[in-house]
Amino acid sequence: MKNEKDPIASVLAKEMVITGEISFKGKARFDGTVQGDISGEYLILSDTAQVTGNVTVTTLVCHGKVEGNVMAEVVTAHATSEIHGILKSQNLTVESGASLEGEIHSSSRKQDAGNSQSQKTTNEAKDSADKK
């Protein structure tokens, strides 16, 4: 499994628009727009990235927008991220300010991944300090 210290093997530039399926190995960073499904290992979506399609990867580090379903062992949704669809992950981290809309299925144990409790959410993740 790839980790954050591995070098980025592929980059989709901010100005690029790709229509169709993308499949990759290793670590990739997308700054541009993808209209289609993505499958691979370690994917970083920058804050300029926009994906309309399903994302199936081992690890997703999201700063951008996804309109579609996400299935990944590890998902980190940073403050600038927007994910609209069904999200399934064994390890989910959501920063304050991230927007998740749809169904979330998350379990920290592999055997529970298929039977995890789902949570429907249509609200933005808010800073816990705002609630105090």
Residue 39 pairs in a beta bridge with 23, 56
pTM of the model: 0.79
CA pair distance 16, 113, nearest whole angstrom: 35
The answer, yes or no, to whether residue 117 has pLDDT greater than 60, is no
Of all helices (H) and strands (E), which one includes residue 2? none
Let me know: does 100 contact 86? Beta carbons within 8 Å.
no
Kindly report, residue by residue over 63-82, the tens digit of the pLDDT. Answer: 999 999 999 999 999 999 99
DSSP helix/strand/coil, 7? coil
Cβ proximity of 88 and 70 under 8 Å: yes
pLDDT in tens, 11-22: 999 999 999 999
Q: How far apart are CA 31 and CA 64, in angstroms?
A: 8
Q: Assess contact for 81 and 63: CB atoms under 8 A.
A: yes
Distance CA(121)–CA(119), nearest Å, equals: 6
